[in-house]
């Protein structure tokens, strides 16, 4: 499943708080949270659970020229995405391409910082991994729904609290609310799905949030491609708007997948 904070907090946040009506003991609540996260994970598609141990792919991306009256995308420098499974979770990074010899170190760093926001979209962590340091409670609702409330166990300066709205008929997260003491604030997101490999993957995520008291909307669309026996993220299209004004639009594509290489 996909989630992430900036700018993709949704697609990388998606994996996820529990408020029991009867207030059980902490150990009982933690156990129930773990079971619930594992239950959700069993209905989402994760390449690592299908045997993917490493992935290398060419990364192509474009940014829309928001100053143009016509829809025009500007090609950005190519990079590579690398992911390797270690201790049941992926080490992920963006690396420079040999074609970028004309870029300065500062320019490379700037581009990589933008693309780092998508690392957990290309190869998402499980919900169980994402929320391993969270605690909370479950609140059950009518019509086979529940809300999972999660907060970080160790309070930090940038504390994030999550409310995950779970459809227990289809076992997937339909909405998310994130509160944090940094911007963006008041994040409200929705997820729309398709199936790959018989399990859920995110096809589209939408969100609304506030920065400097201004409201922004974000829409991210995902398409998938089969590489060997694995379904992998192939294309991402993301737009951010303030009202009718387009703030940012990216198109990102992974190509030439190399899976499960020895080195």
| Residue range 17-26, pLDDT digits in tens | 333 333 444 4
**Residue 130 confidence (pLDDT):** 92
**Tens of pLDDT, residues 231-254:** 999 999 999 999 999 999 999 999
Q: What is the pTM of this model?
A: 0.85
**Tens of pLDDT, residues 87-99:** 877 899 999 887 7
Is 70 exceeded by the pLDDT of residue 153? yes
Query: What number is the average pLDDT over the span 32-53?
Result: 95
Lowest mean pLDDT among 66-70, 108-112, 145-149: 66-70
| All structural domains of the chain | 9-259 (2.50.20)
DSSP the chain: ----STTTHHHHH-------TT---HHHHHHHHHHHHHHHHTTB--GGGGT--EEEEEEEEEEE-TTSSS--EEE---EEEEEEEETTEEEEEEEE-GGGTTS-HHHHHHHHHHHGGGHHHHSPPPHHHHTTTEEEEEEEETTTEEEEEEEESS--TT-EEEEEEEETTTTEEEEEEEEESSSSEEEEEEEEEEEETTEEEEEEEEEEEEETTEEEEEEEEEEEEEETTEEEEEEEEEEEEETTEEEEEEEEEEEEEEES---
**Residue 142 confidence (pLDDT):** 81
Q: How confident is the model at residue 129 (pLDDT cuts 50, 70, 90)?
A: very high
């Amino acid at each position: 499943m996909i989630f992430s904070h900036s700018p993709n907090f949704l697609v990388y946040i998606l994996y996820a708080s529990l408020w029991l009506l009867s207030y059980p003991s902490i150990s009982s609540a933690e156990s129930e949270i773990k079971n619930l996260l594992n239950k959700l994970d069993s209905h989402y598609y994760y390449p690592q659970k299908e045997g993917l141990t490493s992935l290398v792919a060419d990364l192509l991306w474009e940014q829309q020229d928001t100053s143009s009256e016509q829809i025009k995308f500007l090609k950005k420098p190519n990079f590579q995405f690398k992911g390797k499974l270690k201790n049941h979770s992926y080490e992920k990074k963006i690396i420079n391409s040999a074609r970028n010899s004309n870029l300065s170190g500062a320019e490379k760093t700037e581009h990589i910082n933008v693309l780092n926001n998508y690392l957990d979209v290309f190869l998402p962590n499980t919900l169980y991994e994402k929320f391993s340091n969270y605690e909370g409670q479950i609140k059950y609702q009518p019509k086979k729904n529940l809300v999972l409330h999660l907060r970080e166990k160790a309070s930090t300066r940038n504390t994030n609290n999550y409310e995950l709205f779970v459809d227990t008929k289809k076992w997937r997260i339909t909405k998310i609310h994130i509160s944090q003491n940094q911007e963006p604030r008041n994040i409200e997101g929705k997820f729309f799905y398709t199936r790959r490999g018989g399990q859920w993957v995110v096809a589209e995520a939408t969100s609304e949030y506030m920065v400097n008291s201004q409201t922004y909307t974000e829409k991210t669309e995902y398409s998938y491609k089969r590489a060997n026996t694995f379904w992998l993220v192939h294309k991402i299209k993301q737009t951010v708007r303030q009202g009718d004004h387009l703030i940012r639009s990216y198109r990102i594509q992974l190509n030439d997948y190399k899976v499960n290489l020895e080195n």
